[in-house]
Amino acid sequence: MNKIYCIFSFSLVILLFTGCKKQDPVSLAVQLIDSEMARCPEAWQLDFQEKLKWDYCHGLEGEAILAVYEKTGNKKYLDYIEAYADTMINEKGQIRTYKMSDYNIDHINPGKMLFKLYDITGKEKYKKAIDTLYTQLQSHPRTSEGGFWHKKRYPHQMWLDGLYMGAPFYAEYAARYHHPDKFQDIIKQFVLAGKYTYDPETQLFRHAWDESKEQKWADPIRGQSPHVWGRAMGWYTMALVDVLDFIPEDQEGRETLLYILNTAAKGIQQYQDEKSGVWYQVMDMGDKENNYPEATVSSMFTYSLLKAVRKGYIDQTYAETARKGYNGIVKNFIEKDSDGLLNLTHCCAVAGLGGNPYRDGSYEYYMSEPVRNNDPKGIGPFVLASFEYKLSEKQ
């Protein structure tokens, strides 16, 4: 048995019970966020940061914390995220550390929480920042068919990660500010990403695609990256269920999004670990040596499935898969430390393609990235999944 799996299997996992009853998922989500706020007294410190950064992780966890505020009505959660936004955005709406000329689609994602902050506070600087991010999308470099490059420094490449980073913000902006002509462009992003990353042999979506086929990680014929990184597919499915909140039901192409989501759900269900209920870091490699059950992909899939079932996007039979996933996360990844704080364990810290040092997308590469506790890319989706799980109990 490999070392990582041994750690996973035999680490002290504290199940959270009140008497003999499993703890309420909303209470569990609130405790996890309270623990995060204790670890990071200032929201800019989230994601293990030591200096200010406009970052997609702050946006993801920030949305989850605002969801906790809406659930509880406790203003401390709003104040926590508002303080981050006020630190990062000046009165002119200029965003610290952000450079539009980088054309980094990751930098769009934090804009989503600004919609809610603007609704609550009415601060015009938030609207100005929102408009700036929208402007980036209007000039963002694209593939020959119109798909957003992941970053300017990653030319001709679409990553599944990027669909979550850009599309939900784009869709909410279009819906709020009356740009119905943009919905076709948003749908096109998912169609292109799906078309060029889908692997019919595994019935899963690979991490990325290089239109130029120049990257060493790209298949010379199809341009696909070599493997199905779980979290990349998690980003894609979360993007689908969140974008559908804003695409009108009569919009041409909406049915295509539903088809893609159902295709993804089928693959997710097929690759769920039967025993633990969670999903592996590299999905197409199963229980190969060193592969490990991973918390961020498990949280993302669970959230996506629960929300998709609730909204009627996928069949009700997926609810069992989703609830099994949620319970597997609680059993295998949630721990309480000696300080009484909750931790989400077994999170892959980061993974990408290309760059310097070069990331070749091999199985060995994905296994080489560090594993840590309390990564926002797991915390955020788990909190949102907890709220969805609670709603599913009423169905």
Q: Where are the beta strands (DSSP E) in the chain?
A: 17-18, 21-22, 157-159, 198-199, 204-205, 208-210, 334-336, 342-344, 347-348, 371-372
Q: Tell me which DSSP letter residue 147 carries.
A: P
The CB-side HSE value for 259 (13 A sphere, CA atoms) comes to 9
Rg of the Cα trace of the chain?
A: 20
φ/ψ of 239, rounded to 5, equals -60, -40
**What's the rounded Cα separation, in Å, for the pair 391 and 386?**
9
Let me know if 47 is a catalytic residue.
no
Distance CA 137, CA 161 (A): 16
125-141 per-residue burial string, b: 16 or more CB within 10 A, e: under 16: bbbbbbebbbebbeebe
- Spatial distance between the Cα atoms of 36 and 45, rounded to a whole number of angstroms: 10
Of 55, 161, 242, 284, the catalytic one is 161
Residues annotated catalytic, as ranges: 161
